[in-house]
Structure formats: structure tokens, C-alpha cells
């Protein structure tokens, strides 16, 4: 494999599109597929378009998969139009989705007769940082396989630590990451809702507390959207945390580890989806929690 591996990219959602773009701008030939033709059109000519996932995956050095769920990962690989039969023993499959350890471990086992070059690399950092190539990537896999995709990781991230030697290890780190993120967003919404209910100026509360020990990335980032009530344009949809907190609590049950804060946060996100806010920004938890004087 050359130092500039050719890339087939599958999945151009809120994170996938900017990640594919920065990878192409770093000098890599990227051919992408997504079920939404409009996003494919929007990335031309920086990113080339394929008519199917199989076309995108054919003859490339690396296939990057950036879909939303474990069932979607399985469908991309082994579904009716899956890519598995166009892969070769030299193809590296770079799974950057957050789908949980079990899904990636199962995929690696099923791919083993075709290619053993599977790298597990979920990401954290949000859409803005994705567009700047400034993500954190938590990487699991064999060193020689990671070395093959390192130029892509360099393009997409400012930090890509190797956290384990097997596919699934990156997902385990991402589970811990999402526990913290999900709880911090819920805590930010709860705190600002309390401030609102006590008659405080929530904007001032947000500004003042960001200068002290209560500060966190999520309180700063999501809190700013909470006080501005910028819920409708989803930079990070609430549905993502419905999925991800489910992965957290599933992993905790398998490890027999109590996660009471994560479980409470999960129920808040599930409530938000039930009330029709699944496609809203996840900062909408503030709207769900605050009370209004009659």
C-alpha cells in the first residue's frame, strides 16, 4: 500500500461528510457512497461519487465505514448489496462508526475469511472539529493494519491513540466517552433548567459558571445552545444519544457494572425522542427539563 492509500467511503452523515472532505483535501483519492444523492452532489469535485457501496469499495486500499448503527454496518458488509465480496485480503476495513464492541467484533470475525485487516476507530469531537481534521480517534487493531491507515487518521484527527490490539477495543473506549458526554449534556440541561426555575438569568449563569469548577466542554458547548434556544438545527441530533446511551447501558449490563447516572440520562433522551425531538439538537434536553411559571 502506498503512503496515499485510495479510499472508498461509505456513509456521509453529519460527521462522515466533513471527515471525507478533509481526507480528500489532504491528498487522498476518495470515492464515496451515501443513500442521499444530495450530499454526494454537495461534495463534488473534492470527493468522487459512486453509484453504490459496492462500487465505492471496489479496487481501493481502504474502505471507511461511517454509518449510524450496528445493523447498518452488517448491511453494508453482508446485506443484499453488501461489499464483502468485492473486498480482497489486502483491503483494510476502517470502521469509524459508533456501533458498540459486539457489532465490530462480529464484523471482524465474519470478514476474517476475506480480509483480516479490520481497524476499529470511532471518533469524538463534533461536526466543527470534523471539518477541521481535529477529531479524537480511538483506535483498536493490529499495529500493521493501523500503520496502513495512519495517513488517513493523520488527515482526520489531531489525536489518534492506539487503545487496544483488537477490533472492538476502540468501541469500548468510545462507550466510556459517550457515557461522559451523555451525562454531561443531561447535567447541563438540568442545571440550567434549575437556574431558569429559580428565576436566574440563565445566560449569566452559563457565563459565570463556565469560569469555575463546574465548567465542562458540554456545559460550554451545549449550554450555549441551550441558553440561545438553538434546538431546531441539529448539530448533534438527540437520536444519536438515544442510540449511544443504549450502547453504554448494554455494555454495562454485560460487564455487570452499575451505571446509574448513564441510565438516568438515557431515559431523558428516550423521553425526548418519544415527545418528537429526536431530530432536534441534543441540547433540547434543557427544553424538556425546565419548568414554566403559569
Task: Classify the C-alpha dihedral 160-97-126-267 as positive or negative.
Answer: negative
Contact 177, 124 (CB under 8 A): yes
Nearest to 64 by CA among 165, 131, 152, 130: 152
Compute the distance between CA of residue 93 and CA of residue 58 in angstroms, rounded to an integer. 12
Measured between alpha carbons, how far is 29 from 152 in angstroms, rounded to an integer? 11
* Cell 485487516 belongs to residue: 117
The contacts of residue 118 (CB under 8 Å, 6+ apart) are: 92, 93, 95, 104, 107, 108, 111, 141, 145, 167
> Burial of 78 by CB count in 10 Å (0-12 exposed, 13-18 middle, 19+ buried)?
middle
How many whole angstroms separate alpha carbon 233 and alpha carbon 42? 19
CA distance 97 to 100: 9
46 prior amide bond cis, ω within 30:
no
CB 51 within 8 A of CB 35: no
Cell triple for residue 264? 438516568
Q: Measured on CA atoms in the order 50, 9, 70, 276, is the torsion positive or negative?
A: negative
Is residue 254 annotated as part of the catalytic site, yes or no?
A: no
Catalytic site residue from 172, 174, 243, 254:
174
163/177 Cα distance (integer angstroms): 13
Report, as residue numbers or ranges, the catalytic residues.
174
Amino acid at each position: 500500500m502506498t503512503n496515499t492509500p485510495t479510499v472508498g467511503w461509505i456513509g456521509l452523515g453529519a460527521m462522515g461528510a466533513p471527515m471525507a472532505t478533509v481526507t480528500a483535501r489532504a491528498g487522498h483519492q476518495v470515492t464515496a457512497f451515501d443513500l442521499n444523492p444530495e450530499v454526494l452532489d454537495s461534495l463534488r469535485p473534492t470527493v468522487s461519487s459512486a453509484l453504490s457501496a459496492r462500487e465505492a469499495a471496489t479496487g481501493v486500499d481502504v474502505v471507511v465505514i461511517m454509518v449510524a448503527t450496528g445493523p447498518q454496518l452488517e448491511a453494508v458488509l453482508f446485506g443484499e448489496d453488501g461489499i464483502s465480496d468485492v473486498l480482497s485480503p489486502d483491503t483494510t476495513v476502517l470502521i469509524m462508526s459508533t456501533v458498540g464492541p459486539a457489532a465490530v467484533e462480529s464484523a471482524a470475525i465474519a470478514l476474517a475469511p476475506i480480509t483480516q485487516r479490520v481497524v476499529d476507530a470511532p471518533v469524538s469531537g463534533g461536526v466543527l472539529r470534523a471539518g477541521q481534521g481535529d477529531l479524537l480517534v480511538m483506535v483498536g487493531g493490529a499495529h500493521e493494519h493501523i500503520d496502513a491507515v495512519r495517513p488517513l487518521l493523520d488527515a482526520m484527527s489531531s489525536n489518534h491513540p492506539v487503545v487496544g490490539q483488537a477490533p472492538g477495543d476502540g468501541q469500548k473506549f468510545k462507550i466510556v466517552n459517550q457515557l461522559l458526554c451523555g451525562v454531561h449534556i443531561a447535567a447541563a440541561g438540568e442545571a440550567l433548567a434549575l437556574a431558569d426555575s429559580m428565576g436566574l438569568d440563565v445566560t449569566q449563569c452559563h457565563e459565570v459558571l463556565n469560569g469555575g469548577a463546574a465548567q465542562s466542554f458540554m456545559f460550554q458547548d451545549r449550554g450555549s445552545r441551550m441558553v440561545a434556544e438553538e434546538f431546531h438545527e441539529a448539530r448533534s441530533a438527540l437520536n444519536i444519544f438515544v442510540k449511544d446511551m443504549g450502547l453504554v447501558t448494554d455494555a454495562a449490563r454485560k460487564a455487570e457494572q452499575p451505571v446509574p447516572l448513564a441510565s438516568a440520562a438515557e431515559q431523558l433522551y428516550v423521553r425526548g425522542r418519544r415527545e418528537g425531538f429526536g431530530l432536534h439538537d441534543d441540547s433540547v434536553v434543557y427544553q424538556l427539563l425546565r419548568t414554566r411559571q403559569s
